[in-house]
Chains A and B, each alone.
Chain A
Amino acid sequence: MSTPNPTAPAAPPSDSVMITVDGVPMKAKKGEMLIRVTDANDVYVPRFCYHEKLAVAANCRMCLVEVEKAPKPLPACATPVMDGMIVHTRSAKAIAAQKSVMEFLLINHPLDCPICDQGGECELQDLAVGYGRDVSRYAERKRVVKDKNIGPLVSTDMTRCIHCTRCVRFSQDITGAAELGTTNRGEHNEIGTYVEKTVDHELSGNIIDLCPVGALNSKPFRFRARSWEMSQVPLVSPHDGLGTNTYGHVLRGRLMRVVPRANDAINECWISDRDRFSYEGIYSADRLEKPMLRMSNGAWKEVDWQTALEAAVNGLKGVPAAGLGVLAGPSSTLEEYALLQQLAAGLGTSNIDHRLRQPDFSGDAADPAMPTLGGAIAEVDTLQGLLVVGSNLRLELPLLAHRVRKAARAGASVAFLNPAAFEYLFEAEQIVVDPARQLAELNALVSAAGGTTVGNSVADVTDRHRRVVESLRGAQRKAIWLGALALRHPQYAALRAAAQALAAATGASLGVLAEGGNAAGAHLAGVLPHRAAGGVARASTGLSAGAMLSQSLGGYLLWDVEPTADSLHEKALASLKGAGYVVAATPYATEELKSVAQVLLPIGTFAETSGTYVNLEGQWQSFTGAALPVGEARPGWKVLRVLGNLLGLSGFEQNSSEEVRDQLRSQVERSAAPISIGAVAAPTALGQARVAGVQVYQADAIVRRAASLQRTREARAPRVVYGAGAES
């Protein structure tokens, strides 16, 4: 019976309304703030305090517009639209209100634009052109506010502050650390930290972008360049697996600063301090500027590229294929990985790996094609249940932690299983157990969920376990993630298998938050001993990173690897020292590398090469080179291509990084192997386990050299090895 029933209730009233702005009809959602509607329809209403990602404050009053039938001008940012509303944003009344506010904002604002870093990219300066007067009518004394020292990253010129409170709302609502607030009243109103302290949250650099004036600026960038001198180049941050979108600002070939590139699917409009300030590490004093060769007397000598490459080729040819190990860091570009894998294959070795900090490779055969989050990054906001195993999430992936915080604030139940309790700034159930008991504890959760435990070690199931399982079960959108502390666990394979069992029993998705900026890319390109490009299983499995580092091979090719800091492997240095021949391609000339290598080849960092990063969502993000490589350093993929030519290998004829990428892409597509995680053998019992913690600003070679980041409170935190104190 498809005849419409005349007595059926009418369709629910649509939640869309029609309003008229400056004579143009606009469709809007009921209750939506007026400024969102005008923004969506390209009608610009001037504003200072309004920001689309922050709570509405309506305190700057710059967005006052005339609304018919309202007795006074209304702030567009705090006025919900109603059907039939007629708005004038450019009427005499609206303009008069906006100009009034501008005059008030300017009376106590210092006119120091020529020496202000914000000059040229200042919202107040821009709007003053449109709404300000030629000459100030304010002849009284101007307000002066004492500057504050809020740490090594953000400079303050508080006299310039216009009290929009964007920074305050950011630290209260977005980070939750509530590090900034307002004190005093009226004219004496000041932004500050109440008691003198530094602003330490790992996202706090975003207040630099939020500040519409020059009150909060980048301290490392202070007085370095004017905004209009620099060119803006899109980049992708190499420090974690999110693939955070950034812009590099480049002056005469030098990367001067990094700012966010808004991408709602990944980083919204934020970047972490690590993404923002790491660029300083590119220009550290120990950059390798020329190829170097170790002479027969042991001394190092700078040589030209030709000499260095020939030496490297001869050296590598002298190493028997089975005894050659290729190690790469987890943050190189996809193109470098592709060519490196090709080079290793050409040299006849499968000993190639990028998982430098992973101790347990027993689950390799069960590996998925690449580590992923198990879902879209943007969907993390809407998760209702989440269990994170082994992760100091805020410091490993700051922007992912931000999304988890959003989910938690929306009511998601979040649980952590970690070797230590961490501060999350949202409500979370923290199960803290010694690394040796991590698997038993995870098994207890599996058992509470009715799944099959991995191995025999199972902790007693308590109400807490049942609670975590129930909240996962009860959630519609749910996930289980394994973090870096799980990856660095000696029983990683078993932990992953147990997490998989728990995911299966609760219906949650499973994600692996691999370390480094391009672990996913390294997997796809086959920088693995058991998989070649495109995830194709190798005929014969090579040595894993752990195996390569715990014994001396005949020779090594190190690709952007700082042996000790990047691997945290206690035998790494000794193993490399015992090798017959070591070629190290690296941006940095460290004493440690000089003590193990025969040839040092200077390669460009993430900003000095074109390339592609694959993030934990599986997105391929390509970028062009932003800065000129320091000294004679060259983009890594070019170095590998020439090395391939000099070694007489085929398949090294690419003329651009795009060509390398497209070749790999077709390999990946052909193989089309989204391998799910397979089964692993039962783990052996552990008496004692140690898991290395990594400080947020020790994550990779660039960050370790970023001077300003190294002055933060976080950088002063001692390095921790979890489980170290456990007596067996």
Chain B
Amino acid sequence: MPNSGGTIIFSVSGHVAKPGNYELPMGIPFAELLEVAGGMQGGRKLKAVIPGGSSCPVVPAETMLKTNMDYDSVKAAGSGVGSAAVIVMDETTCMVKVLERLSRFYMSESCGQCTPCREGTGWLNRLIKRIMAGQGRREDIDLLVQVANKIEGHTICALGDAAAWPVQSFIKHFRHEFEYMIDHGGRSIVGAQQVAA
């Protein structure tokens, strides 16, 4: 495997039957990795994967299932192998809530030394919280992306970039979930689909 030799320890978490650490050759197809981890919990449908730890961009299921777990392929899928901490999310997952959780993590992990991260991570988290509280506005979605863009590349360390990438990718791939929540006073598209089904 060019650029990606040897094995890597995948730390698979989330909605899989057997979460855990698996040392496997690089370049293994994601579908196989999923099988090693016992497949989806309760046989539910895969929705999205963060392939390289919480700071890496999220990848929708259809792309991920066609991707091999090596540096170049995951990069081509729009994310990165990163720490190989693979976060697997099924169809019951509300992507707005996930992003809120991730942004809360980065807000509380920001050391506060440099401006964009200190001020920006809190802004991101508050925006998402407001959307979840039913107080969101359509323009908040673009604002989220813009705030993330203003953090990215402007900080001393990589935590700023790490806080920005999930926001950019979640909105890129799951914008409709944010829009739904804003339009429906904070109700998640996930619950709505289950009710409809």
A residues in contact (CB < 8 Å) with B: 58-62, 64, 71-73, 97, 100-101, 103-105, 107-108, 137-141, 162-163, 182, 184-189
| B126 x A187 contact (CB < 8 A) | no
Please name 13 pairs of A and B residues whose Cβ atoms are closer than 8 Å in the assembled complex, sorted by A: A61-B114, A72-B153, A97-B153, A104-B120, A105-B119, A108-B119, A140-B126, A184-B112, A185-B108, A185-B109, A186-B107, A186-B112, A186-B121
Residue of B nearest to A101 (CB): B115
CA of A97 to CA of B123 in the docked complex: distance in angstroms?
A: 17
Looking at the complex, which one of B110, B113, B123, B156 makes contact with A107 (CB distance below 8 Å)?
A: B123
With A72-B154, A73-B154 given, is the CB distance from A60 to B114 under 8 Å?
yes
Q: Inside 8 A of B123's CB, which chain A residues have their CB? A: 104, 107, 138, 140
Looking at the complex, which one of B110, B119, B143, B151 makes contact with A185 (CB distance below 8 Å)?
A: B110
Q: Inside 8 A of A61's CB, which chain B residues have their CB? A: 114-116, 154-156
Looking at the complex, which one of B119, B130, B151, B156 makes contact with A58 (CB distance below 8 Å)?
A: B156
- Which 9 interchain pairs have the tightest Cβ spacing? A189-B112, A100-B150, A186-B110, A104-B119, A140-B126, A72-B153, A186-B112, A187-B122, A59-B114
CA of A139 to CA of B115 in the docked complex: distance in angstroms?
A: 18
Residue of B nearest to A164 (CB): B115
CA of A412 to CA of B99 in the docked complex: distance in angstroms?
A: 56
Looking at the complex, which one of A72, A105, A140, A185 makes contact with B111 (CB distance below 8 Å)?
A: A185
| B112 x A97 contact (CB < 8 A) | no
| A141 x B126 contact (CB < 8 A) | yes
| B156 x A100 contact (CB < 8 A) | no
Q: Inside 8 A of B114's CB, which chain A residues have their CB? A: 58-61
CA of A58 to CA of B115 in the docked complex: distance in angstroms?
A: 10
CA of A138 to CA of B114 in the docked complex: distance in angstroms?
A: 19
| B109 x A186 contact (CB < 8 A) | yes
| B150 x A103 contact (CB < 8 A) | yes
Q: How far is the CB of B43 from chain A (nearest CB, A)?
A: 40
In this assembly, does B118 line the interface, its C-beta being within 8 Å of a C-beta of chain A? yes
| A100 x B154 contact (CB < 8 A) | yes
Residue of B nearest to A143 (CB): B122
| A64 x B154 contact (CB < 8 A) | yes
In this assembly, does B17 line the interface, its C-beta being within 8 Å of a C-beta of chain A? no
Looking at the complex, which one of B108, B115, B126, B143 makes contact with A163 (CB distance below 8 Å)?
A: B115
Q: Inside 8 A of B119's CB, which chain A residues have their CB? A: 104-105, 107-108, 187
Q: Is the interface of A mostly helix, strand, loop or mixed?
A: loop
Residue of B nearest to A100 (CB): B150
CA of A72 to CA of B154 in the docked complex: distance in angstroms?
A: 7
| B118 x A189 contact (CB < 8 A) | yes
| B116 x A187 contact (CB < 8 A) | no
Q: Inside 8 A of A60's CB, which chain B residues have their CB? A: 114-115
In this assembly, does B8 line the interface, its C-beta being within 8 Å of a C-beta of chain A? no
| A186 x B122 contact (CB < 8 A) | yes
Residue of B nearest to A108 (CB): B119
Q: Give B35-77 as 1s and 0s: 1 = Cβ < 8 Å from A's Cβ atoms.
A: 0000000000000000000000000000000000000000000
Q: Inside 8 A of A186's CB, which chain B residues have their CB? A: 107-112, 118, 121-122
With A104-B120, A140-B126, A140-B127 given, is the CB distance from A162 to B115 under 8 Å?
yes
Interface-centre pick from A58, A59, A187, A188 (highest chain B CB count, 10 A): A187
Q: Inside 8 A of B151's CB, which chain A residues have their CB? A: 100
Q: Give B141-160 as 1s and 0s: 1 = Cβ < 8 Å from A's Cβ atoms.
A: 00100000011011110000
How many A-B Cβ pairs are below 8 Å? 85
CA of A294 to CA of B121 in the docked complex: distance in angstroms?
A: 73
CA of A107 to CA of B118 in the docked complex: distance in angstroms?
A: 11
Residue of A nearest to B113 (CB): A59
Q: Inside 8 A of A107's CB, which chain B residues have their CB? A: 119, 123
Interface-centre pick from A62, A139, A162 (highest chain B CB count, 10 A): A139
Residue of A nearest to B161 (CB): A72
CA of A137 to CA of B107 in the docked complex: distance in angstroms?
A: 19
Q: Inside 8 A of A71's CB, which chain B residues have their CB? A: 153
Q: Inside 8 A of A58's CB, which chain B residues have their CB? A: 114, 156
Q: How far is the CB of A100 from chain B (nearest CB, A)?
A: 4
Q: Inside 8 A of B107's CB, which chain A residues have their CB? A: 186-187
With A186-B108, A187-B118, A189-B118 given, is the CB distance from A101 to B113 under 8 Å?
no
CA of A182 to CA of B118 in the docked complex: distance in angstroms?
A: 14
CA of A652 to CA of B122 in the docked complex: distance in angstroms?
A: 72
| A59 x B115 contact (CB < 8 A) | yes
Q: Inside 8 A of B112's CB, which chain A residues have their CB? A: 163, 182, 184-189
CA of A119 to CA of B186 in the docked complex: distance in angstroms?
A: 41
CA of A104 to CA of B160 in the docked complex: distance in angstroms?
A: 13
CA of A61 to CA of B118 in the docked complex: distance in angstroms?
A: 11
| A104 x B116 contact (CB < 8 A) | yes
Q: How far is the CB of A162 from chain B (nearest CB, A)?
A: 7
Q: How far is the CB of B156 from chain A (nearest CB, A)?
A: 6
Looking at the complex, which one of A73, A105, A187 makes contact with B153 (CB distance below 8 Å)?
A: A73
Q: Inside 8 A of A105's CB, which chain B residues have their CB? A: 115, 119
Residue of B nearest to A102 (CB): B115
Q: Inside 8 A of A184's CB, which chain B residues have their CB? A: 112
Q: Inside 8 A of B153's CB, which chain A residues have their CB? A: 71-73, 97
CA of A139 to CA of B143 in the docked complex: distance in angstroms?
A: 11
Q: How far is the CB of A107 from chain B (nearest CB, A)?
A: 6
CA of A298 to CA of B109 in the docked complex: distance in angstroms?
A: 76
Residue of A nearest to B135 (CB): A139
Q: Inside 8 A of B126's CB, which chain A residues have their CB? A: 140-141
CA of A163 to CA of B111 in the docked complex: distance in angstroms?
A: 12
| A59 x B156 contact (CB < 8 A) | yes
Q: Inside 8 A of A59's CB, which chain B residues have their CB? A: 113-115, 156
CA of A415 to CA of B91 in the docked complex: distance in angstroms?
A: 75
Q: How far is the CB of A383 from chain B (nearest CB, A)?
A: 35
With A59-B113, A182-B112 given, is the CB distance from A163 to B118 under 8 Å?
yes
CA of A186 to CA of B130 in the docked complex: distance in angstroms?
A: 20
Interface-centre pick from A62, A64, A108, A185 (highest chain B CB count, 10 A): A185
Q: Inside 8 A of B108's CB, which chain A residues have their CB? A: 185-186
CA of A240 to CA of B45 in the docked complex: distance in angstroms?
A: 80
CA of A189 to CA of B109 in the docked complex: distance in angstroms?
A: 12
CA of A108 to CA of B126 in the docked complex: distance in angstroms?
A: 13
| A187 x B115 contact (CB < 8 A) | no
Q: How far is the CB of A91 from chain B (nearest CB, A)?
A: 14
Residue of A nearest to B130 (CB): A140
Q: How far is the CB of A140 from chain B (nearest CB, A)?
A: 4
11 more CB-based (< 8 A) A-B contacts, given A62-B115, A186-B118: A61-B116, A61-B154, A101-B116, A101-B154, A107-B119, A107-B123, A137-B143, A186-B107, A186-B111, A187-B112, A189-B112
Residue of B nearest to A48 (CB): B115
Q: Inside 8 A of A163's CB, which chain B residues have their CB? A: 112-113, 115, 118
CA of A184 to CA of B119 in the docked complex: distance in angstroms?
A: 14
Q: How far is the CB of B40 from chain A (nearest CB, A)?
A: 35
Q: Inside 8 A of B156's CB, which chain A residues have their CB? A: 58-59, 61
Residue of B nearest to A78 (CB): B156
Q: How far is the CB of B128 from chain A (nearest CB, A)?
A: 11
Q: How far is the CB of A62 from chain B (nearest CB, A)?
A: 8
Q: Inside 8 A of A141's CB, which chain B residues have their CB? A: 126
CA of A101 to CA of B123 in the docked complex: distance in angstroms?
A: 13
| B109 x A104 contact (CB < 8 A) | no
CA of A58 to CA of B157 in the docked complex: distance in angstroms?
A: 11
Q: How far is the CB of B138 from chain A (nearest CB, A)?
A: 14
Q: Inside 8 A of A101's CB, which chain B residues have their CB? A: 115-116, 154
Q: How far is the CB of A68 from chain B (nearest CB, A)?
A: 15
Q: How far is the CB of B106 from chain A (nearest CB, A)?
A: 9
Q: Inside 8 A of B113's CB, which chain A residues have their CB? A: 59, 163, 189
Q: Inside 8 A of B150's CB, which chain A residues have their CB? A: 100, 103-104
CA of A573 to CA of B108 in the docked complex: distance in angstroms?
A: 67
CA of A610 to CA of B116 in the docked complex: distance in angstroms?
A: 50
CA of A104 to CA of B151 in the docked complex: distance in angstroms?
A: 9
Q: How far is the CB of A637 from chain B (nearest CB, A)?
A: 53
Residue of A nearest to B149 (CB): A100
CA of A693 to CA of B35 in the docked complex: distance in angstroms?
A: 83
Q: Inside 8 A of B116's CB, which chain A residues have their CB? A: 61, 100-101, 104
